[in-house]
Amino acid sequence: TKPVDNNEMISQMTGFSTTDGVAKLNESFNNFSASMTSSQALQASSLVGRSVLVDDNVFGMAEGAGANGKIKTDLPASNVVIYVENTAGEIIQTVPVGSIKKGEFAFTWDGKDGNGEVAPTGAYRFRIAGVVEGKAAELQAMTYRKVDSVTLAGAGGNINLNLNGGETMALKDVLEVSG
């Protein structure tokens, strides 16, 4: 019998070494990924009790509280009015804004109905109408929502924020964090 050829033996040894190196690299990457997920969850937990701006016009409100939001428009708008509606679609309060420039416009609803009475605890939505380039238009409403808790979701380590009113939203969908 013929002994193993030197070139063949070196090739096999290189293959073993490469396989071992790839396995160690994969293990290191998995450890790094788990560390990053833990770090992100720790950072997200600092949002509990704070308000985040989300691209959603629906919000939960406790009796006696108010609600904050933003209007976003790509063009100037006139005759802008904020309608606060309950879950049945009934208008609870109408807030005239007037004219706004292109961009974002912050607003606050005091939590009272059209008669000045405190609105009850529940879910509400902002519907914003105005005139853009001479035509009636619905404008984008964003709301500030309080973060009640944080959840790690799934094997991918996605972080979800549990917001007041019972809604869950991915951390990546938060537009702004407020005190």
Confidence class for position 47, pLDDT limits 50, 70, 90: confident
C-beta neighbour count of 92 within 10 angstroms = 21
Q: Which residues contact 141 (CB under 8 A, 6 or more apart)?
A: 57, 69, 70, 71, 72, 82, 125, 126, 127, 128
Which of 175, 170, 165, 179 has its CA nearest to residue 44? 170
- What are 152-175's pLDDT values in tens digits? 776 666 888 888 877 888 888 889
Please tell me the least confidently modeled range out of 12-26, 38-52, 88-102, 138-152: 12-26
Please tell me the least confidently modeled range out of 21-35, 77-91, 116-130, 141-155: 21-35
- What are 76-115's pLDDT values in tens digits? 999 999 999 998 999 999 999 999 999 999 999 999 999 9
The DSSP secondary-structure symbol of 131 reads: E
Instruction: Give residue 41's pLDDT.
Output: 67
Structural contact between residues 78 and 131, judged by C-beta atoms closer than 8 angstroms: yes
This prediction's pTM: 0.72
